[in-house]
Amino acid sequence: MTTKNQAEEKTNSLNFIESIIENDIKNNKNEKRVHTRFPPEPNGYLHIGHAKSICLNFGLAKRFGGKCNLRFDDTNPTKEEVEYVDSIMEDVRWLGFEWDGDVHYASDYFDQLYLWAEKMILDGKAYVDDQTSEQIASQKGTPTVPGKESPFRNRTPKENLELFRKMRAGEYKDGEKILRAKIDMASSNMHMRDPIMYRIIHKEHHRTGNKWCIYPMYDFTHGQSDYIEGITHSVCTLEFEVHRPLYNWYLDQLIDTEYRPQQIEFARLNLSYTVMSKRKLLELVQNKYVSGWDDPRMPTVSGMRRRGYTPEAIRDFADRIGVAKRDNVIDVSLLEFCVREDLNKKADRLMAVIDPIKLVIENYPEGKMEMVSVENNPEDESRGSREMPFGKEIFIERSDFMEDAPNKFFRLTIGKEVRLKGAYIIKAERVIKDAEGKITEIQCTYDPESRSGSGSEASKRKVKATIHWVEASQAVPIVVRQYDRLFNHEDPGGQEDDFKNYLNKESLKTLTHCLAEPAIKNLKKQDRVQFQRQGYFCVDLDSSNETIIFNRTVTLKDDWAKLSSKND
């Protein structure tokens, strides 16, 4: 795992993309301008991989005093929706970034792209093909075997223009005709074998309505959109490397200025125990394996937000993993580590008992109630302290007591002492059990002189353990959703069988009998806290005054690391 010091060094030295840009500026390229963009297709919610790309693109603009656009690559009306557009804008802003000027849409350029397509037809560089997509695919060849030329390849520009205009006018059905670039069916780059430029789709577009029934392919749109927006460094993931010659070829046919957007590829982020393809994430949502795109188990930005992750933690994670040129897999525990690091500084400590058992202090005066003071965040004194009620009956964590404890058990057991955090030292005397033999109550005595912070000798007395607790009469019932990894395989998407076979059936446990100290009533939705000794939690969006719901954001330690070292 990358250590904190290494990560700090990393942010101060240049990654390979920054070096390219620095060099470009030195050489006065594009009048020293730096203009990047983040170009999502609005066909799903953003995931942590997109967050990486956002941090990179917006980060580069910031570092070099440049600009970064947000552009929706909305060329396919069959899969795209306004809901996705809205969620993407919300997520980018939540991550802490603001795009330059207005949001851009590839669909803003449909008129220009259409004119460019006509120009290519007139120049003899594009033709209308009447074959079906299956026929065209069967003529593609393989990387080592040249493809076959279409029988329609040698139509005249005049005929092609007429047909293309009829395509636009709606005279053909979906799939009846397409427009292809006339490049080279024998090219060693499959993307150069007469790629499709336009297809017919009779479907309303979320922005252009019914104006068009032909839509440009992503490949015929992307490079030109970068060009139109004056993008200097078009940063994208490695799979687009093989598309680069095609983007350049299109621009060479259409543009005679010297300026070109420069495409630079980096390795996409892969996370262990996660799938990241939008198609797979959509499948999980549509088939209700999760409660929605923002289910706290999803690797989506909205899911992580709901779970309680902070934008700072995600940006820190993006920094630490850096920018790679080769595909690799990042351990999801690094992301969890970043979340923990950030919440440790920010989250106030509260007490909640997840699996409560009643504890009665026999020698504590009947009916007495006192307030004890506990600090809010030991990492941040300025957070101050709060008062907690203490009385004769309290609840502690069932796992903090053992009747027949082995020697190594340092928490509460008969005849042994522990300290109640912020309060007194208690000693267990006996237990009460129900008919099945299950413990229903622990009876204790306390040392009245031992109250924390009282300054007495007994208050300084060291005992083996300090445990958390809540006072019984004022405890607030809460529901806790305990999340675990959504998949139980390191690479669920990379197996022969269906990725859904690797869903972790234990990924959500809903615990309904938890109790918290009264201060939790002051929390608002999405507020984050540390429940002492339990982990970091955040108030869920479904929470209400009647039912207060907490999501477990992350445990205090990496349980999985512990598990695997045990197994070692």
Which residues are known to be catalytic? 41, 268, 278
Query: Which region, judged by CB under 6 A, interacts with ligand ATP, from 1-9, 144-152, 274-282, 445-453?
Result: 274-282
CA 92 to chain centre: 11
Take residue 57 and report the two structure tokens written for it: 């693109």
Beta-carbon contacts of residue 373 (< 8 Å; ≥ 6 apart): 385, 386, 387, 388, 422, 453
Nearer to ligand ATP, 240 or 531 (CB): 240
The pattern of x and - marking residues 410 through 449 that bind ligand ATP according to CB under 6 A reads: ----------------------------------------
> For ligand ATP, which residue of 30, 36, 53, 274 counts as binding (CB under 6 A)?
53
The residue assigned the tokens 């937000």 is: 305
The pattern of x and - marking residues 380 through 399 that bind ligand ATP according to CB under 6 A reads: --------------------
> For ligand ATP, which residue of 68, 106, 213, 269 counts as binding (CB under 6 A)?
269
- Tell the smallest beta-carbon distance from residue 289 to ligand ATP (Å): 17
Alpha-carbon distance of 311 to 318, in angstroms, equals 11
Take residue 354 and report the two structure tokens written for it: 């997840």
The pattern of x and - marking residues 329 through 368 that bind ligand ATP according to CB under 6 A reads: ----------------------------------------
- Tell the smallest beta-carbon distance from residue 489 to ligand ATP (Å): 18
Coil, strand, or helix at residue 493? helix
> For ligand ATP, which residue of 222, 278, 349, 411 counts as binding (CB under 6 A)?
278
- Tell the smallest beta-carbon distance from residue 280 to ligand ATP (Å): 8
3-state secondary structure 167-221: HHHCCCCCCCCEEEECCCCCCCCHHHCCCEEEEECCCCECCCECCCCEEECHHHH
CA 126 to chain centre: 41
Nearer to ligand ATP, 43 or 253 (CB): 43
Nearer to ligand ATP, 237 or 253 (CB): 237
Query: Which region, judged by CB under 6 A, interacts with ligand ATP, from 151-159, 275-283, 435-443, 538-546?
Result: 275-283
- Tell the smallest beta-carbon distance from residue 96 to ligand ATP (Å): 17
- Tell the smallest beta-carbon distance from residue 133 to ligand ATP (Å): 20
- Tell the smallest beta-carbon distance from residue 75 to ligand ATP (Å): 11
- Tell the smallest beta-carbon distance from residue 205 to ligand ATP (Å): 17
- Tell the smallest beta-carbon distance from residue 396 to ligand ATP (Å): 44
For residue 356, the cross-strand partners are 397
Quick check: 314 binds ligand ATP (CB under 6 A)?
Answer: no
Query: Which region, judged by CB under 6 A, interacts with ligand ATP, from 48-56, 129-137, 320-328, 470-478?
Result: 48-56
Nearer to ligand ATP, 266 or 531 (CB): 266
- Tell the smallest beta-carbon distance from residue 41 to ligand ATP (Å): 4
> For ligand ATP, which residue of 79, 268, 421, 427 counts as binding (CB under 6 A)?
268
Query: Which region, judged by CB under 6 A, interacts with ligand ATP, from 224-232, 276-284, 342-350, 448-456?
Result: 276-284
For residue 199, the cross-strand partners are 178, 215
- Tell the smallest beta-carbon distance from residue 215 to ligand ATP (Å): 16
> For ligand ATP, which residue of 52, 71, 243, 306 counts as binding (CB under 6 A)?
52
Q: Residue 42: which of 79, 68, 70, 69 has the closest Cα?
A: 79
Nearer to ligand ATP, 40 or 356 (CB): 40
Beta strand spans in 392-446 (E)? 393-397, 417-420, 425-433, 439-446
> For ligand ATP, which residue of 133, 277, 456, 473 counts as binding (CB under 6 A)?
277
Nearer to ligand ATP, 271 or 444 (CB): 271
| 560 touches 333 (CB < 8 A) | yes
Take residue 530 and report the two structure tokens written for it: 């540390």
Alpha-carbon distance of 176 to 182, in angstroms, equals 19
- Quickly count helices (H) and strands (E) in the chain: 14, 27
Beta-carbon contacts of residue 293 (< 8 Å; ≥ 6 apart): 44, 45, 87, 281, 285, 300, 302, 303
Quick check: 49 binds ligand ATP (CB under 6 A)?
Answer: yes
Residues for the chain: how many in total? 568
Take residue 261 and report the two structure tokens written for it: 């957007």
Quick check: 237 binds ligand ATP (CB under 6 A)?
Answer: yes
Query: Which region, judged by CB under 6 A, interacts with ligand ATP, from 49-57, 76-84, 245-253, 429-437?
Result: 49-57
Nearer to ligand ATP, 262 or 482 (CB): 262
Alpha-carbon distance of 25 to 352, in angstroms, equals 55
CA 394 to chain centre: 39
Nearer to ligand ATP, 330 or 353 (CB): 330
Alpha-carbon distance of 518 to 388, in angstroms, equals 8
Element holding 244 (H helix, E strand): helix 244-254
| Residue 453 one-letter amino acid | G
Alpha-carbon distance of 442 to 429, in angstroms, equals 8
3-state secondary structure 133-161: HHHHHHCCCCCCCCCCCCCCCCCCHHHHH
| 456 touches 469 (CB < 8 A) | no
> By rule CB under 6 A, what count of residues binds ligand ATP?
14
- Tell the smallest beta-carbon distance from residue 451 to ligand ATP (Å): 54
Q: Residue 195: which of 139, 254, 118 has the closest Cα?
A: 139
Alpha-carbon distance of 456 to 461, in angstroms, equals 9
Please list every residue from 215 through 234 that binds ligand ATP, using CB under 6 A.
none
The pattern of x and - marking residues 26 through 45 that bind ligand ATP according to CB under 6 A reads: -------------xxx----
Helix residue ranges per DSSP H, 255-374: 278-286, 301-307, 311-321, 332-346
Nearer to ligand ATP, 58 or 390 (CB): 58
Nearer to ligand ATP, 127 or 215 (CB): 215
Catalog residues that contact ligand ATP under the rule CB under 6 A: 39-41, 49-50, 52-53, 236-237, 268-269, 276-278
